[in-house]
Structure 1
Amino acid sequence: MTTTTGRPIRIGLQLQPQHADYDDIRRAVAEAEELGVDIVFNWDHFYPLSGDPEGKHFECWTMLGAWAETTSRVEIGALVTCNSYRNPELLADMARTVDHISGGRLILGIGAGWFEKDYVEYGYEFGTAGSRIADLGKALPRIEQRFAKLNPPPTREIPVLIGGGGEKKTLRLVAKHADIWHSWGDVEVARRKVRILDQHCADVGRDPAEIERSIGVSGSPSASGDQLAELGITLFTLSSSGPDYDFGPLREWLAWRDSRNG
């Protein structure tokens, strides 16, 4: 069964680096790759988002460098990098470096940022939702320009994933800059946002088929998988938190992917 876009169904896994020792995370990454996950993501926070707010936690990009060395097949990336935490030129250089370490398997996931505790504790200006999205809009061209200047250059055109569902500003940035768009929500929310993204693409003169559509999912694929795929969504990402990293639902989504892709 093919998808409406002709792209294969892919399954991502966000390993949330909270409440776990790094040995637990390393084992989880290895198991995910062995199971056949297409992309393994972490996230870009400095504190847990659930459970004990002062619990164990590890930094995003140093971890991606380690994953680049210890994996061999899966793509890797952050879901998503917070634009506020790093100078755009530095982030581009970091991404290029992990791209080389991984042999061309990095996805540059990026978003405007939202978790106020990260900002306050690490000394970043929190601003407003509008100012953070405006900053993201300024950063994306700078990242693209730095990629073109780096020596050596990236091994490939590093796919840029933009996470967010803001219908006026974020989706317009997706239309202009993203190779992958990631959002959240049920089938009806996804249907509305896909339609709005298509209109933004028309407004900026871009073929919407160039953008892979991704969504965060949970539970069983029987509930919504086929309906979401009919909307042109082809990347389905589950989340798993430490310290246990339960992969039960993941296995069901992987089996669904394989049945869809034939």
Structure 2
Amino acid sequence: MQLRIFTEPQQGASYDDQLAVAKATEELGFDAFFRSDHFLAMGGDGRPGPTDSWVTLAGLARETSRIRLGTLVSSATFRHPGMLAIQVAQVDAMSGGRVELGLGTGWFAAEHAAYGIPFPDKRFGMLEEQLAVVTGLWNTPTGETFSHHGRHYQLTDSPALPKPAQSPVPIVIGGQGKKRTPALAARYASDFNLGFAPLDQIAAGFERVREACRAVERDPAEITYSAALVACVGTDEAELARRAAAIGREPAELREHGVAGTVAEVVDRLAWLAEQGVQRTYLQILDLSDLDHLDLIAREVAPQL
């Protein structure tokens, strides 16, 4: 089981807050630092205000040396795919080839309204085209050009530069859709993620992706199967309750839906997730000031996996 740290900076985190967590992520031996891509807090005032995910990751690329860096997930509504391809390729080069692109349709209408971003009712086609454009630009041989004439995007004779350091850049696709999402994952994903899915539906969600892979004659084992779940761990009940209160949650609810409880309980939950087919877990860390929480997971939980 591979453990990654996943943060929600729109809830109220500066770049320096994220840098501290990213450095701890690296020093404590976790595999990756991922962040959401949102511009509006979901409850609370979100002060000091949102930070752009790819600007942030560019900074972290120069401040870290080992951990993977990525989004879970960027919204197809936020950036033109041509510009997104340039941004991700540049951050990948800045990191020495450690970037992963998580991309989805977007869902939070209020943040679009707050910052004047169009939010069409139907967005899956945009996501499909963005993946075609981004990967098409990256895969075009140097010296050749790339064109795309679709419903949502038109590119003509692009030089398809710059190229990322990695070839290919890993792409994370997630969602609980039963047909179109698995088909898209089978075509593009290196990591298929079920974010905050009901635990008893994880195995079936992964199997739908495997079936979609077989339908297009792709080896299902080429994809890493992952889950994103809130994390809240304590050495005892008092510490667990304190950490739960700090993020506005109840221990019982966290135990039911997340990776939460005492160290022994969390080890058991992660072992159970592995039995469901989870190979990688994105631990959603909501209190970015509590670096001792990361230390506890790295010191007491990770060695037992």
For the superposition of Structure 1 and Structure 2, which TM-score range results when normalised by the shorter chain? 0.7 to 0.9
1:137 corresponds to 2:148: no
Moved more, 238-247 or 207-216: 238-247
Q: Aligned pair 1:167/2:186, yes or no?
A: no
Q: 2: distance between equivalents of 1:21 and 1:55?
A: 7
Counterpart among 156, 164, 170 of residue 154 in structure 1: 164
Alpha carbons of structure 1 residues 197 and 243: separation in structure 2 relative to 1, 3 Å: closer
Q: CA deviation at 1:254?
A: 6.5
Query: Would the aligned equivalents of 2:86 and 2:162 in 1 still touch at CA under 8 Å?
Result: no
> Cα deviation per residue 1:101-136 (whole Å; 9 max; x = unaligned)?
0000001111110011121122222222xx212211
Is the Cα contact below 8 Å between 1:15 and 1:245 reproduced in 2?
A: no
Residues in 2 aligned to 1:133 and 1:255: alpha-carbon distance in whole angstroms: 41
Where does residue 56 of structure 1 map in the other structure? 49
- The equivalent position to 1:15 in structure 2, one of 7, 12, 30, is 7
Alignment equivalent of 2:210, drawn from 189, 198, 201 = 198
Tell me how far apart the structure 2 counterparts of residues 67 and 58 of structure 1 sit (CA, whole Å).
13
Report deviation, 1:42: 1.1
Shift of 1:21: 3.0
Other-structure match for 2:228: 216
Helix, strand or coil at the partner of 1:86 = coil
Secondary structure at the aligned position of 1:143 is classed as helix
Tell me the distance in 1 between the aligned counterparts of 2:216 and 2:19: 42
- For the structure 1 residues 158 and 91, does the alpha-carbon distance in structure 2 shift closer, same or farther, using more than 3 Å as the test? same
Q: Which one has more relative contact order, counting CA pairs under 8 Å at least 6 apart? A: 1
Q: CA deviation at 1:222?
A: 3.1
Specify the code of the residue in structure 2 equivalent to 1:168: K
Distance of 2:177 and 2:293 partners within structure 1? 31
Tell me by how many angstroms 1:239 deviates: 1.4
- The Cα shift of 1:84 comes to 1.0
Mean Cα displacement is larger for which, 250-259 or 154-163?
250-259
Preserved CA contact (<8 Å) 2:190 2:224: yes
Residue equivalent to 1:178: 189
Q: Verify: 1:30 aligned to 2:41, yes or no.
A: no
Inter-partner Cα distance in structure 2 for 1:58 and 1:133: 25
How many percent of aligned residue pairs carry the same amino acid?
A: 30
Distance 2:215 2:164 in 1: 30
TM-score normalized with structure 1 length: 0.87
Query: Residue type of the partner of 1:137?
Result: E
Equivalence for 1:3: none
Is contact 2:30–2:298 with CA below 8 Å preserved after alignment?
Answer: no
Q: CA deviation at 1:87?
A: 0.8
RMSD of equivalent CA atoms? 2.1
Where does the alignment leave 5 or more consecutive residues of structure 1 unmatched? 1-8
The residue number in structure 1 matching 2:155 is none
- The CA distance in 2 between the partners of 1:247 and 1:91, in whole Å, is 35
Match of 2:157 in 1: none
- 1:193 partner amino acid: G
Distance 1:238 1:36 in 2: 14
Structure 1 residue 249: Cα displacement: 6.3
For structure 2, list consecutive stretches of 5 or more residues without a partner in the other structure: 141-159, 232-259
Write out per-residue CA displacement over residues 156-202 of structure 1, whole angstroms, 9 at most, x where no aligned residue: 21100112221122222111110001113243110111121112112
